[in-house]
Every structure is written in structure tokens, then in C-alpha cells.
Structure 1
């Protein structure tokens, strides 16, 4: 029989088991812990919990094997996967195998407890696993983990998605991952950069045209919507589309049918639309250059791809990966960035984001002498060299000099340090999506120290 309000924890790491046991106990949830899968399954024959928390990699069993078994025999029990190996493969595989939630280590214990309590009260949506191929995406930064989790959550869905982010962040790669990990994975993925065509040509690209429909239309042309039938159409730079074409696109999304340019026959299609933009579509709606009804049709689910400067902990992995890839493509001896070179790359602001990093790696693969790439071999633009702190430090110095010349009731440090700490705390929390544990690590504090300072300063979150 199932005992109410009970969570079972499977992890070979004793410290993780202890932290979860203590925290869940304080939250009013009874726990049982297992270091081995064998002991867990023996106990499962006698009773069942409300929720299961499992690691992926353990000595005697994989968390995916546990997920598979629970999905087959106890599909009503939600399973939460925790892992230190937090890549896209594990995130998507967890959701596709039926995980209720996926938490990369280290996780914020308060967030984890909240998710576990929520899971204990409801039945998860069961997802059928498949063997879809997964495009290469790299990222351990919290912002990229959110992208991975979103792709995983949508792996059973064909809903429209709006992807936002700066140019060069990899929005098309996210769109491909959404397609490859969806029920439409075996159907076509058709990309189209809408900003690459003038309005009249874009209409023909999207919907096709009949022979003789306009000057130069010498034969019938099948448009991208027909090409994508059954699959996914990716519309990049959707914010540049004219209002007239927005109206036509809206009709297709609403009615799943359209006419070719110059055509009289209605064509029915079944297409998932994933759109992307580097603009603020909501502001475009407010100023009248983007249709509000189309905005809500596209923005059923949204994913924001972070800029490279907001995920600088991924730069080293990305740089080594793309340098290796460039060497392979050019059929030359592989090269490797030195530690100094990687540190140099991490101080750069990357206005062109991942696309700029890829181009740098290709240049380095050709031009750098030897197999070890030194900082001086990296061809960064002179106007965009690693950003220095001279600007803000000079301003701070001038302000301090001015303040010290005045009469003061209390020491300057007593006034300045809380202000600086508040700025740092807010910036760190914003970068990691409000996760206190991650923010504390960025700032070099313990979580309790950060929590105390947030409370003392009255900083509001979320």
C-alpha cells in the first residue's frame, strides 16, 4: 500500500540524500533513502511513495532505467531526476521518459523542495520515449539549463513557439532541437529567414505561386508551408514581416489553409510554426508595427536564448568544441586553446554572440601557428577587445573623491558597501533566474549569507 506524504530518494551521494531528507522532513514530507537501485526495487514491491527523486548516474543502475520501470509499472508516481551531468541529452531524455521535473546539480534546495511537494500532490503527464536525434547544444550555465528544460517539456508537444534572443545566440539551433525532439521529428524542418526577402518575394516563398501569376513566374512553385506540411516551419526574424503578410500568416495559423499567389484552390496544411526574433515583439505590438493577434498565435510558448556574455561559464567548452569542429571541417591538425587563451576569451564582451565565437575559431584554425593557441593568436576586433573596468572605476573614483570632500555623519564605507552589495545581489539573482544557491556561488558567499543580506536589505525577488 502507498503511504501518504512520502518521498523516496535514490542517490549514491550520501550528502545529497542527507540534505534532501532534512529539508523534506522540515516541509512535512516523510522520506526513505536508497544508495542502490537494487534496494529501491525490493522496497517498491512492498509499498509505493508519492514521489521519487533519483540521480541519473549510479554504480548499479541508471536513473533512466528507474524512470523506464516506474513508467511501465507505476505510471501514477511522479519521478524527479537530479544530476550533475546537466546537458541537453539528459534533460530531453528525462522528460521523454516521463520525468515530472529535471533538476541539474547543484540545485537550490528551496526550489527542489517546492517542486517535490508539488509533484507529491499530482499525477504527471506520461510521455512516450523515442530515439530522436538531438542537435549539438552545449551549456552548463543556468540560463541554458532553462532552455534545455523548456525543450524537454515540449518534447511531447507540437504547439507553436516563439524564440527570442540577440542575433547570433543560436535561435535556429534551438528551433531544430524543438523539432528533433517532438512528435514531428521524422517530418520536414523547413527554415526561412523572413528578413532576406522583400514583401512580394516573401509571399511567394511562404505560400508558393501558380504558373503565370506574375512576370517571371514561368512554372508552379511550392511554398515553404507546403514543403513543411506535417513538420515544422521555422520563421526567423519574424519581427521584420510586413503587416499585409502578417495578416496572411495569421489566417494560416488560424485555419490551416491558404492560397498560392495567383491560385484559386485552397490548400490545407498541418504545420507547426516556430518563430524567432531579436526584437521586442510586444513593443512592436504597442507601436502598431506587429499584429497583436498574430503575436499571441505565435507566442503560445516562449523560449529566451541567452547572450554569450550572460553564459560566460560556457565559453571555454564552446570554444574548444568549435575549434575542434573547424579543424575537422578543414581537414587540418587539431588545435587547442591554452588556459590563458580561454581566460582571454572569457573577458571579451561577444557582441556577435556564439556566431562570432564560431567565426573566431575558424580563423584561428587556419592562422594560428602550432597546435596550442595563445591569446595573441586570437583575432578579436580592435574596437571590441576585452572590456576593461576603467570606465566604471574612474567614475567611482571621481565620486569617492567628491564625497570625501564633504562633511559626513558616518564613514563612507558604511554607506557605499551596502549599495554595492545590493547592486551585486540584484545582478547575480537576475543572471541565474532567482536561484539563491547559484547567485551565492557567483558572489563568493554561502547561501545563508546571501539570504540574510537579501532580508536585511529588503530586496524583493521575482
Structure 2
């Protein structure tokens, strides 16, 4: 027979304690209660618990003291804070101090049950083990070891996490790892590129719409929040959200409820928010292009993913893993990197980070003749003494024409050589802009119509 799971309920109001005990009891938990910080400490010293719920204001202190004590002495016990309705600042502080989640008074029992379920799922699976994290995020460098350790900690919380990092460092992989290692692993992981949704459709995409709410709304459609219910919503490129949508998103996060376009009532949603961008979000706040209140709400915990140039010691092992995956997929022998290739990679700044490394190795694998890839096979852009930042001599997407072998012109002629330069520039820009054609055209400095023509002419799918 399975051991009964237990919870500690800390609140100085008897009716709140009784409500919580009754609700948790119906979920199969044995409950102990405390009415003060002192009582709670005494209970924690005598017993171990699968969950703790504590009020913020207590007669002899603050619930924050209980959060701190549990985080330090009982790190495997999730603790959730009960706060006054609308006191978002207190809830955010509790999350930063190590609280698993928070629930506002008057307590919504549906929200409470969801919270308890995720907390218990987390405890049962013992996801504080960092071995699974290491399997997803390779690297022996100090920067990666620190990143994995932080991920292991934040995975045990429900706090919103803001993932900062340059393009191509693996921000979505970090988000997926946080989801997979947390109490929501059995729920959906829903990624969304905020820059790829037209502004006029954004509210409908996020919150859904009712049939007939606007022209073309022929059926009821759930939104991204409903799709992520019980799991995680990953807002990639969150800096691209227009200001009106930022207001609506802030309210949905704070109230944990949404209203579909054309609906008369709100519905509760149980979603953890993870967000990311390669831009400097704090600078956008200073410039008035991103709401400060939303910034603080999604940035309860900030997690920086290091660029590849800060972990060059990981290059040999990371490259070997990538080559093994690519070669296995193609059903061919797994190649190695020659010493001069590794030396060239170490000297290269990698503006596109891990994603660019994968592209470089995939291209080298396709074009190289031997089983040991040398520096020439990599065809890395070569810097020149030109003014300005970025890759000297590169086109609008940062592609250096010299990555294409000039000897090719001997057989294919100048027009074909120029086409290859165009193709490389367009493919690079598409990758950098996540295959969003509107943004790709803007990055290349051409019209959308011109890009569409080039894609068709060059046979790029």
C-alpha cells in the first residue's frame, strides 16, 4: 500500500486552514496545521512533508521566513505562498526566495488543486536529479555546469523564467529542459514565436475566439493558453510583442485566466510562462518599447545562456556529438575533425553560436571528401581589416562571399557564382529569422515580393 502523502498548512485564520485541509484531504493528503512561524518551524523539525502551503502574514513574522527555511533545510519540499488578492509584488518576492508557486486569497480551489497536483508530481519523479539535464545540455565548461545547476533549481519552481542569450545559443532547448525536469513534464509544452504572429491576429492566437466574433471566425478556436493548459507556454522572441498585447498578456499571467475573443466570461488557465529573446529586454524597457510591469512579471528568474565563444573548451565534444547525429541520420561513417579544423573553430567568433556550428558542420559533411574534416572543409568566413562591426566583407545577412570556393567559378562561371552567393545569404537570413519571410526580407533590405521571387528562382524551399 502506497504511503500517504502529507502537507503542512500554515495560516492564522481558522476558516482558511479548515478550507485548505478539507481540499487537500479530498486529494488524499494527510495534513498538519500551524498558525504561526514558530508553530511551523516546530512541525518542520518533527516531520517531513510533500508540500507546504503558508500564508504571507503571520502573527509572529512572515511566510517568507518559512519559505527561506524550507529552501535551506528541506529543499525537496515544494512550498507555496498564499497572498492577498492583487499583491503581485509579494508573490514575485516569494518566487524569488524559492517558493514553488503562489495562490491568491480568496483561494480559488481549481487553481489550488492544479498547484498541488504539480507539486506532488514534482516530488514523485524526484526531478532534482541533474543527470537528465546534463544529457540535454552538453558541455563540461564552468559556464555550462553553472547553467545546468540553475536549470535544476528553477525546474522545481512554477516561477516565470526569462531566458536571455544570443541567437542560436539554445534558448528553446533550455526551455524544453526546464519543462521536462519540472512538475509539468506530463503536460504540454507549447512554443510560440511572438515575432511570427501578425499583430491583428495576436489576441485570437493567444486567447482563442468564439464563432462569429469576427469575419472568418467560422468555428470556436482555442488559443495558445488553452493549448498549454496544465503545461508550459514558451514565449520565444517575447520582445516582438506589440504594446497593446503586452497589456493583455500581463493580465492573463497575473489573474491566471483568459477571455477568448467574443466570449462573455473568463476561464482559468493553468500555465507556466517561460520567455526568451536575443534582444536586451531591459534596454527596451528603458526605451519605452516594453512594459516595465510585464518585464518584472516574466523576469522573476533570469537565466543567461552563454554564447559559444565563452565555452570554447566544449567545442571538440560538442562538434563530435553533432557530427555523430548528422552522420547517423545520413547512414554514413562518422567523421572526425582534423587538428587544423578544431584550431579554426576555436578562432572563429560564432555570431550564430551552436546553431551556426551545426550549419557549418552539416555543410562540411556534405562537401568534404575524406573522413577527417579539415579547416578548408569548414569554409569559415575570414575577417578582413574593414571598418564597422560584424563580419567584414559580408552581405546583408552576415555571409562572407569567400565562404564559397572561388575555384567554383572556373567551371560554373560568374553568374552561377553570384547565384551561390545570393543563395548562401538568403539561407543564412532565413535561419537567423526562424524562416519568417517578412523579417528575412527586411534583414536583407529587399521587399517581400523580391524575396519570394528569389526563393522561387533559386529553388529554395
Q: For this structure pair, what is the TM-score category when the shorter chain's length is used for normalisation?
A: 0.5 to 0.7
Further displaced range: 131-140 or 171-180? 131-140
2:348 corresponding residue in structure 1:
348
1:168 is aligned to 2:174:
no
- Any residues of structure 2 matched to 1:40-189 within 5 Å, and which? 123-126=73-76, 128=123, 130=125, 134=133, 136-189=136-189
In structure 1, what is the Cα distance between the partners aligned to 2:352 and 2:246? 28
Q: Deviations over 1:55-107 (max 9, x none)?
A: xxxxxxxxxxxxxxxxxxxx98xxxxxxxxxxxxxxxxxxxxxxxxxxxxxxx
1:337 is aligned to 2:304:
no
In structure 2, what is the Cα distance between the partners aligned to 1:332 and 1:384? 36
2:439 corresponding residue in structure 1:
none
**1:201 shift after superposition:** 2.1
Q: TM-score w.r.t. structure 1 length?
A: 0.55
1:219 is aligned to 2:225:
no
Change (3 A) 1:382 1:213: farther
In structure 2, what is the Cα distance between the partners aligned to 1:382 and 1:255? 52
In structure 1, what is the Cα distance between the partners aligned to 2:263 and 2:331? 49
Further displaced range: 233-242 or 362-371? 362-371
For residue 234 of structure 1, give the secondary structure of its aligned residue in structure 2: strand
**1:122 shift after superposition:** 5.6
**1:339 shift after superposition:** 2.4
**1:166 shift after superposition:** 0.7
Unaligned ranges ≥5, structure 1: 1-74, 77-117, 386-462
Change (3 A) 1:181 1:355: same
**1:382 shift after superposition:** 4.3
Q: Give the aligned CA root-mean-square deviation in angstroms.
A: 2.4
Change (3 A) 1:383 1:199: farther
**1:326 shift after superposition:** 1.1
**1:131 shift after superposition:** 6.5
In structure 1, what is the Cα distance between the partners aligned to 2:382 and 2:204? 42
1:202 is aligned to 2:202:
yes
1:232 corresponding residue in structure 2:
232
1:316 corresponding residue in structure 2:
316
Q: Deviations over 1:229-286 (max 9, x none)?
A: 0100000011111110000100111101111122223121010000001122112112
For residue 274 of structure 1, give the secondary structure of its aligned residue in structure 2: strand
Change (3 A) 1:366 1:256: same
For residue 244 of structure 2, give the secondary structure of its aligned residue in structure 1: helix
Further displaced range: 171-180 or 256-265? 256-265
Unaligned ranges ≥5, structure 2: 1-43, 46-67, 78-122, 386-461
For residue 332 of structure 1, give the secondary structure of its aligned residue in structure 2: coil
In structure 2, what is the Cα distance between the partners aligned to 1:384 and 1:300? 42
In structure 1, what is the Cα distance between the partners aligned to 2:253 and 2:147? 25
- Any residues of structure 2 matched to 1:324-403 within 5 Å, and which? 324-382=324-382
Q: Deviations over 1:170-198 (max 9, x none)?
A: 10000011001101111111000101122
Q: Deviations over 1:131-154 (max 9, x none)?
A: 766562111222222211111112
Q: Is the 8 A contact 1:274 1:298 kept in 2?
A: yes
Change (3 A) 1:238 1:279: same
In structure 1, what is the Cα distance between the partners aligned to 2:239 and 2:167? 13
Change (3 A) 1:277 1:369: same
In structure 2, what is the Cα distance between the partners aligned to 1:190 and 1:333? 36
2:398 corresponding residue in structure 1:
none
